[in-house]
Amino acid sequence: MNIWFTSDTHFGHANIIRFCDRPFKDVDEMNEKLISNWNECVKPGDRIYHCGDFSFERNPQITAKRLNGQKYLIKGNHDKDHHMKLISPHFVWIKDYYSLKVDRWKFVLFHYPIRNWHHCYKGAVHLFGHSHGGTPDLGRSTDVGVDCWDYKPVHIDTIIKMMSDRECVKHH
């Protein structure tokens, strides 16, 4: 089984194209490209952790149903309760924060970039969204939003390879 990470898809959000200078002519083209990219990477048995701001659509469950993988959502500031009720059948769980352990690696998943996270001094990796590439990485942290990864999910092996060369955040 493969593990993937992503964030800030903003399905159905027309203004995000302008706000983030996304290369799409309209929201329909953006949605279809994001869905296509997701499904090219993520296979049905894979796990994918979405670090928030999933959708602005009136009926987000339609998009959620089209996406491959066992989906997990860490809520973002735009993930409203009424949307969560609609998409919850298509996600394994929806949480505010999550700590994931894979082999010797610990991942702290949160929508917002945080500068000190649990076990950051011991090598834990922090994956976030929200800033659309606007918050610089610190130690073993990085933005997994689609705006930073060519509008595709990023594989855990890519994250591990990238983080292996980085120093932990120093304790003050």
Domain boundaries, the chain: 3-164
Tell me the average pLDDT of the chain: 95
Write out pLDDT tens, residues 56-66: 999 999 999 99
Per-residue model confidence (pLDDT) at position 1? 73
Say how far apart CA 107 and CA 125 lie, in whole Å.
5
172 has a pLDDT exceeding 70: no
Write out pLDDT tens, residues 126-167: 999 999 999 999 999 999 999 999 999 999 999 999 999 998
CATH fold label, 3-164: Purple Acid Phosphatase; chain A, domain 2 (3.60.21)
114 has a pLDDT exceeding 90: yes
Say how far apart CA 11 and CA 131 lie, in whole Å.
16
Q: What is the pTM of this model?
A: 0.96
| Contact predicate 123/106, CB 8 Å | yes
Per-residue model confidence (pLDDT) at position 171? 65
Amino acid at 147: D
